[in-house]
Structure 1
Amino acid sequence: MNNSIFIFPGQGSQKIGMGKDFYDNAPLAKKMIEKASQRVGFDFTALLFEENDRLDQTEFAQPAILLVSLIAHRLFSEQCKVIPQSVLGHSLGEFSALSAASAMDYLDAVELVHQRGLLMKEACEGINAGMMALLGLDDVSVENLTCKERELGKKVWAANYNGDGQIVIAGNKDDLASLEPLFKEAGAKKAVLLPMSVASHCPLLSSAQPKLEEYLEKWLKESFAMPVISNVTASAYQSKAEAKRLLSEQLVSPVKYKQSILHVENATDSFIEFGGSVLKGLNKRITQKPTHSITDMKSLDEVLALL
């Protein structure tokens, strides 16, 4: 396991109580949460540990997930000096990966993804944006169907390639709903509208790109400790200029998660997921290589014991 790749979950992995065990048992985690609360001006302990409806809103979900991921990573790194071959994340998780690669201070990353969430929310206001999960259709079928429907005026795009037969599409919610019978007819086992008010990774977010680029210019560092795998290209990059361009493109381009894992799997003997276990589930459908998830002190100790 000394030849690992570090991976970081994206939006949809959030749940009330995440990070609580770290907060209760690790002074470093408590300090990171307190500093993040001061930085963005809202209380992460209330957001993470108390029942609320804000944790599902993109501008709060994004910094919450990133913060818990980076706490898990920092606690691991304090006790283990394994340097990963590369790092990657799913959508938002790419920002966690950048911070883990020392390309961005964690507090800058927390503020950046909070602002990214606000920009995404603003871009989708008044356009009835949504996302739909499709199970049982191959990539080419989904691409052909959505392409054909766009030619007919529908706003629908492939957004996340999560695994064989598991794709998320984004666009106008009414357009997505209207295509459910078409997808079922083509062989989809499921076509389910997700509880999302944004349409991630499609051209509907283009208005958010210029401002995001300004934040990236402000907070990204020039050098990275290790390569980061891009969601847009499924290939590695390791410079501020590339990061700025690729993370802006990531807003309007599909997440090539499956392709990213396949690209790196021969260079590693395992994956370590920080702050969630969603990617562990996806990886089971993509690769034979094991994925170990760190979500609390117990799982942290278990992964450290394997090294």
Structure 2
Amino acid sequence: MGKIAFVFPGQGSQTVGMGADLIEAYPEAKKMFEAVDQRLAFPLTELIMNGPDDALKKTENTQPALLTVSAVLCTLLEKQGIKPDYLAGHSLGEYSALFAAGVLGFEDAVYAVRKRGKLMEAAVPAGKGTMAAVLGLEAEQLKAICANVSEQGDSVQTANLNCPGQIVISGTVAGVEQASQRASEAGARRVVPLAVSGPFHSSLMKPAAEKMRTVLQALSVRNADIPVIANSTAQEEQTAAEICDHLIEQLYSPVRWTESVERLIELGVDTFVEVGPGKVLSGLIRKINRKSTVFQVNNVQSLIDVSEKLKERV
């Protein structure tokens, strides 16, 4: 019997109204949403349920909103008796994975990502940094282009190694524009500028990383009950100290998603459950390995359906 991994989405998967049916169907979901509003001293539930969309898209709101919905779904799955062997999350999703692993309590995890969002927003002045998705170019080729542009004074790095042929670059506006141009000249199929508020997962995030260390030091961080694949190393981690170090690194290091999925497969995972809004990660996993079984759990109906299917495996 192959192993199961829960994977958790990052920014971009949010939608107004996500989780509404969970609140109606499950008293424990309602309690978790209420706990978030209390811990943040901010009506996040109201924003998730009713928008407006542009306010939900603000990084400091998106991050706790997505983590809340993912954590609620994960808690409900576990109540159905579905437990993963491994965990991973894409960028922000790594915090959802750490909640699922027992590393961070729910309210602490929400508080941490709210702070993380604010620090990421504040690290680089608005309009100075950006990101772009490069399609159809090898990672090594793109890394070399970014290194060359950075040497000439405009910082740019590979930020999200999402799947073969889909890599996001991040840096100063000028750096990303130059690297995008060179990537096109080198044969990239398409380069798509991303509507983001900053150069996430680039060296420009180092000021945020140091401040994030202080945030984590003030929280209770425990060893993981279930191994979590770290974004920055694409290897499993379990001790509180290494987890904290990797969360700091994660802010300015690439999200090594392709390698993370490959590592899970090496560890015997054949079934991935994307726990949280959207289905971005499911699409990436299928591109990385077509043989994997992939489920999405993002609302009441999918929670019931996927729980039934996974119970049949046991």
Identity %: 38
User: In the alignment, what sits opposite 1:214?
Assistant: 214
Which of 289, 294, 297 is the aligned partner of 2:292? 289
**Partner Cα separation in structure 2 for residue 273 and residue 43 of structure 1:** 27
**Correspondences of 1:16-31 after superposition (within 5 Å):** 16-31=16-31
**Partner Cα separation in structure 2 for residue 222 and residue 129 of structure 1:** 34
Residue by residue, what CA displacement relative to the aligned partner does 1:238-283 show, whole Å, maximum 9, x if unpaired? 0111011111011111000110000111311201111132110111
Does the 8 Å CA contact 2:104/2:221 hold for their aligned counterparts?
yes
SS in 2 for 1:17: coil
Does the 8 Å CA contact 1:130/1:199 hold for their aligned counterparts?
yes
**Partner Cα separation in structure 2 for residue 181 and residue 248 of structure 1:** 31
TM-score by length of 1: 0.96
User: In the alignment, what sits opposite 1:56?
Assistant: 57
**Partner Cα separation in structure 1 for residue 103 and residue 51 of structure 2:** 33
Using the TM superposition, give the Cα deviation of residue 141 of structure 1 relative to its aligned residue in structure 2, in angstroms.
Answer: 1.0
Work out whether 1:129 is the aligned partner of 2:129: yes
**Correspondences of 1:1-307 after superposition (within 5 Å):** 3-52=3-52, 53-80=54-81, 82-126=82-126, 128-266=128-266, 267-276=268-277, 277-287=279-289, 288-307=291-310
Residue by residue, what CA displacement relative to the aligned partner does 1:147-195 show, whole Å, maximum 9, x if unpaired? 1111111211100000000000001123322443322111111111111
One-letter code aligned to 2:188: A
TM-score by length of 2: 0.94
One-letter code aligned to 2:27: P
**Partner Cα separation in structure 1 for residue 222 and residue 58 of structure 2:** 31
SS in 1 for 2:162: strand
**Partner Cα separation in structure 1 for residue 2 and residue 139 of structure 2:** 34
Does the 8 Å CA contact 2:146/2:156 hold for their aligned counterparts?
yes
Does the 8 Å CA contact 1:128/1:197 hold for their aligned counterparts?
no
**Partner Cα separation in structure 2 for residue 51 and residue 232 of structure 1:** 32
Residue by residue, what CA displacement relative to the aligned partner does 1:113-136 show, whole Å, maximum 9, x if unpaired? 000000111101256111111111
**Partner Cα separation in structure 2 for residue 169 and residue 116 of structure 1:** 20
Residue by residue, what CA displacement relative to the aligned partner does 1:63-105 show, whole Å, maximum 9, x if unpaired? 001110001001111111x432211100011110000000110
Does the 8 Å CA contact 2:102/2:222 hold for their aligned counterparts?
no
Does the 8 Å CA contact 2:104/2:222 hold for their aligned counterparts?
no
What is the alpha-carbon root mean square deviation over aligned residues?
1.4
Instruction: Tell me whether 98-107 or 166-175 shows the greater mean CA deviation.
Output: 166-175
One-letter code aligned to 2:298: T
- Unaligned runs of at least 5 residues, structure 1: none
**Partner Cα separation in structure 1 for residue 247 and residue 187 of structure 2:** 33
SS in 1 for 2:218: helix
Does the 8 Å CA contact 1:124/1:197 hold for their aligned counterparts?
no
Does the 8 Å CA contact 2:134/2:180 hold for their aligned counterparts?
no
Moved over 4 A (4+): none
Does the 8 Å CA contact 1:258/1:286 hold for their aligned counterparts?
yes
SS in 1 for 2:226: strand
**Partner Cα separation in structure 2 for residue 142 and residue 178 of structure 1:** 12
**Partner Cα separation in structure 1 for residue 40 and residue 306 of structure 2:** 32
One-letter code aligned to 1:69: S
One-letter code aligned to 1:216: L
Does the 8 Å CA contact 2:227/2:238 hold for their aligned counterparts?
yes
Does the 8 Å CA contact 2:146/2:179 hold for their aligned counterparts?
no
Q: How many residues align?
A: 306
Using the TM superposition, give the Cα deviation of residue 226 of structure 1 relative to its aligned residue in structure 2, in angstroms.
Answer: 1.1
